[in-house]
Chains A and B, each alone.
Chain A
Amino acid sequence: MSAVTAPAETRPLKFWQGINQALVEEMDRDERVVLVGEDVGRPGGPYGVTRGLLDRYGELRVRDTPISEAVLVGLGVGSGAVGLRPIVEIMFFDFAMIAMDQIVNQAAKFRYFSGASMPLTIRTMCGAGGPNGAQHSQNFEAWYSAVPGLKVVMPSNAADAKGLLKSSIRDDDPVLFIETLGLLPVRRDTPTGDEHLVPIGVADVRRTGTDVTIVAIGRLVDRALEAAERLESEGISAEVVDPRSLQPLDAETILGSIARTGRLVVAQEATSPYSFASEICALAVESCFSDLKAAPVRVTSPFINVPTPVPLAEARVPGADAVVDAVRGVMSAG
């Protein structure tokens, strides 16, 4: 099952191209959509995600900013309050820490205080994948998913990136749109139409199965799918669910799957404590305790910082092997 609008035509796009296409389509569609961020103009961002936009829309709508993260998000909150539909790019998720007040105390509470909409999209990049080290590689999705008033989405592929970004831009609430560095060059067939909208808050069952539910986000979705394929040869049927939206969360789809399979593995790039994986395990225990045949297992990065050399950083992130091992564990446990 997929909630993606039925595509007429698809084209293999890299993750970053899906984002770029969404930006172009939405900026073409609605002149209130603007993009601000560090290096988003001429350079097109450090990974070229926004390339071509400055020439197409001009420097009032695609605006390079100083290195001022608080003001950067403030540009979005203020312009959103006076009628624009801003997209703010925070180059790395780690830098969002500097803008925490504007995201958590301001953007997320504007509707609560005023009853008015805050059509702000904040794009940022998480995770390992480059020689970027401990201040340019972190995953904070759980922190922001704990804030009432914010929506948080985290696509795992080009098609969802395109469709979710378009939905985020059209949404009247502040949405934190988390891109994953390790996925930028990964291709997936993506609908070419400009009404390819992936609804916020709807999970995607990427693979159906009957023995175990693997709930995975971001970079771990493809690895979970790879694990599921390998497990099939062992006679284990794994269902892979990609929530795509973390807040709001499609608990119904996730819990429905867990209730059917009776076993749960949650896979993510972030560390375990107080994380997305912890939340899913808690929901499963609260809601499907009697269906569970084994204790849920979290597959995560160890509780250590991200090292700079790429091989070390990559060694820290769980791969398909770790997911396979975890599934074997829950299968043997009950």
Chain B
Amino acid sequence: MPRADVATAEHRRGELRTSQQRYRMMRLSRRFEETMHDQFGDGAVPGPLHLSIGQEAVAVGGCASLRQSDAVLSTHRGHHHCLAKGASPARLMAELLGRTTGYSRGRGGSMHVAVPEIGLLGTNGIVGGGLPIATGAAYGMQAKGTDDVTVCFFGEGATGTGAFGEAINIAALWALPLVFICENNQYVELTPQSVHVAGAIHRRGESFGMPGVRVDGNAIDEVADAVEDAVLRARAGGGPTLVEAVTYRWFGHYAGDRAAYRHEDEVREWRARDPLPRAREGLEPEEADEIDAAVEEEISAALAFAQQSPEAGPDSLHVDHYGSRA
């Protein structure tokens, strides 16, 4: 059976600091999802696929200042968060393709990936489900007396849940080392956020005494800088921050959703703000080309790893329900 490490080398070194590293992770994220989208079209993905193509700068910027012992809570649209926190593209692909080498033995799929040893506490099939867990991870860090922090990604749709209100209250009340990153891609499932969200999301923490900031979610350095400020404040005991990163979901809610509920002009306009070329601008063209080529190799290797791994079979069905059973 093919082998792959739990985490990527970049992550073990804790490096998403330079323009090159950030561009590389964004490119990897884009190509990862494009590859999975193709696989989905071929019928090779035995589960749903929620793509965040176009949103790469949020995940990469949100994880850029994190170390392995920091925690991340992700969402149903979480491939980019996983990769940016250091998940191996090979094992993540294996999970999506239902292979035994996947992080959840190929039984979970994209919404059920959790790799605690690299601080990835889970993508999530429940909108808003990660918010309470994020408060717990941050509380655990606080109680242990470390200066680790927790980053909680969530979409603007999750701001409508009760869990969001509960989480920002306790985070502010306890000055938890927690950074809330609202990845505002402007569509909540199949409807525009005008149907779902009142007011300005980044100001939701104001009356709790929580700083909030809205950034261009397609500008990698702007996201990374805002999150780094929040992370440093959290590490120093300064409590939580709410960062709203405004971006755009290029595709439908799920692979197969043609997103006929929105105008093509709007999609065209946002595609013109693609975060990848903007991240590439800071690089020498040859250097960027080299990165692109390296990413292609990594993606090919990851896909080969996943495809060569055995499909999850009935023998895995009962595994990992209980640690001990009387």
Contact = CB atoms under 8 A, between A and B. Distances in A.
Contacts of A82: 71, 116, 121, 136-137, 140-141, 144, 148
A62 to B, nearest CB: 11
A122 B103 CA distance: 27
B136 A75 contact: yes
Nearest to B165: A68
Interface in B142-169: 142-144, 148, 150, 162-163, 166-167, 169
Interface string A193-231: 000000111100000000000000000000000000000
B322 A78 contact: no
Given A113-B104, A113-B112, A106 B126 contact: yes
Contact of A68 (B113, B122, B166): B166
B218 interface: no
B169 A112 contact: no
B326 A81 contact: no
A66 B169 contact: yes
Given A71-B132, A106-B133, A114 B167 contact: no
A109 B112 contact: yes
B143 A34 contact: yes
B320 interface: yes
Contacts of B131: 71, 74
A114 B91 CA distance: 13
Contact of A105 (B71, B126, B169): B126
Interface in B177-223: none
Interface in A174-206: 199-202
Nearest to B178: A78
A129 interface: no
Nearest to A248: B326
A148 B169 CA distance: 32
Q: Which of B140, B169, B323 has the most CB of A within 10 A?
A: B140
A250 B125 contact: no
Interface in B286-326: 320-326
A66 B115 contact: no
B136 A81 contact: yes
B132 A77 contact: yes
A275 interface: no
A76 B326 CA distance: 23
Given A71-B167, A172-B324, A79 B139 contact: yes
B170 A79 contact: no
Nearest to A107: B133
Given A110-B114, A112-B321, A149-B321, A78 B326 contact: no
Interface string A98-113: 0001100110011111
Contacts of A115: 104-105, 320
Contacts of A172: 323-324
Given A66-B173, A149-B322, A74 B114 contact: no
Contacts of A79: 136-137, 139-140, 143
B326 A245 contact: yes
A101 B176 CA distance: 22
A94 interface: no
Main secondary structure of the interface of A (DSSP, over half): mixed
A116 interface: yes
Contacts of A74: 131-136, 163, 167
Contact of B322 (A34, A86, A111): A111
A83 B322 contact: no
A102 B113 CA distance: 16
A269 interface: no
B169 A81 contact: no
A78 B166 contact: no
B108 interface: yes
Nearest to B115: A114
Nearest to B162: A70
Contacts of B104: 112-115
A174 to B, nearest CB: 10
Given A106-B126, A117-B323, A199-B326, A77 B166 contact: no
B233 to A, nearest CB: 20
A73 B115 CA distance: 20
B135 A75 contact: yes
A127 interface: no
B36 interface: no
B276 interface: no
B275 interface: no
Contacts of A68: 166, 169-170
A212 to B, nearest CB: 26
B326 A65 contact: no
A199 B134 CA distance: 32
B323 A78 contact: no
A81 B71 contact: yes
B166 A66 contact: yes
A55 B320 CA distance: 38
A106 B324 CA distance: 19
A78 B73 CA distance: 10
Contact of B108 (A34, A78, A112): A112
Contact of A151 (B137, B163, B167, B322): B322
30 contacts: A63-B139, A68-B166, A68-B169, A71-B135, A74-B131, A74-B136, A74-B163, A75-B136, A75-B170, A78-B73, A78-B133, A78-B134, A78-B140, A80-B140, A81-B136, A81-B137, A83-B140, A84-B140, A86-B140, A102-B133, A106-B126, A106-B129, A111-B321, A112-B104, A114-B115, A114-B122, A116-B117, A201-B326, A245-B326, A248-B326
Given A71-B135, A112-B112, 5 more contacts: A74-B131, A80-B140, A110-B122, A111-B320, A112-B104
